Structure 1
């Protein structure tokens, strides 16, 4: 068996730039493709709020109504406290974009909601629609401090743990 060698001509510097531009164009097209297939939430501001937005470490107080695509209401609450980090990913992402006092319409695709599993009245693969008002939010440390203060006040007043009991009637 014989090997035939073929001499290669060196690539000129202009050719290298064209090669690099081609690679960058391919990478850019790949990134654009990835952005188009990555699920995203729908987020519309109905009434703008003011001030900073909550972070994933915060606890929010919201008024909300959750609906399925056919308009069926699956959940609603006038004052619901929730930790941003403990809700479904799409809802958490939306909360971090809100401002206190604002009202928002959110659409969460299944991949950022409950996915392929059912959750109570929500069928598997459901797109979720919410109307949400951000009433207030506090850091987790502020919430713990408030809880501790309330617990101390209850103990000082003879709350549930140390409540005096009525004497038995004769």
Structure 2
């Protein structure tokens, strides 16, 4: 594999880490709707629900036994993010340029999913608010307690030497 893309990785436009809001928000806004959506979606055909509450559906499987990233590896992905009303808030597909980042720098739902995916996998993620932007929302495009739906395709992984999928890191 050629990991030249990893050396010059700049994540322009991928704002999945967190966005601030200046106006106060109701911490309960959207909670009931999100819970109802996730409960109904869990019953849909081919939807897998993980213990964390993250749900996904496999669209395409990559090579069996292929590489899965650790939380600090560089990944190259194509994705589209939308709300349950089908409003698209971000898309690397539309930009025509994949995104490159480390799984530990995005919303927890993506961090969890990416570590389970293999190169070539394409999944639809259903990210509950607690694993997305939660009660704050994500800027003006993502309301508080929103369920996020992502079409996510893992294109490549550049492993970081000494990486690991464990929680936290040690310095010494």
In structure 2, list runs of 5 or more residues that go unmatched. Answer: 1-48, 163-172
Cα shift at 1:39: 4.3
Q: 1:45 aligns with which of 58, 69, 73?
A: 58
Question: Can you list the C-alpha shifts for 1:31-90, whole angstroms capped at 9, x where unaligned?
Answer: xxxxx9x64111111100120211112111000000001000000114000111111111
* Greater share of residues in helix: 1
> What residue number does 2:104 align with?
85
Question: Can you list the C-alpha shifts for 1:80-125, whole angstroms capped at 9, x where unaligned?
Answer: 0011111111111011111111111100000111100121211111
1:71 lines up with 2:86 in the alignment = yes
Q: Is the 8 A contact 2:132 2:148 kept in 1?
A: yes
> What residue number does 2:122 align with?
103
| RMSD of aligned residue pairs (Cα, Å) | 1.9
Deviant stretches of 4+, over 4 Å = none
Aligned length: 106
Q: Structure 2: how far apart are the matches of 1:113 and 1:82?
A: 17
TM-score by length of 2: 0.58
Alignment map for 1:6-155 (pairs within 5 Å): 39-50=52-63, 51-77=66-92, 78-120=97-139, 121-141=141-161
In structure 1, list runs of 5 or more residues that go unmatched. Answer: 1-35, 143-170
Report the structure number with the largest CA radius of gyration: 1
Compare relative contact order (CA 8 Å, sep 6+) and give the higher one, 1 or 2: 2
TM-score by length of 1: 0.59
Residues 39, 141 of structure 1: alpha-carbon distance in 2 compared, 3 angstrom cutoff:
closer
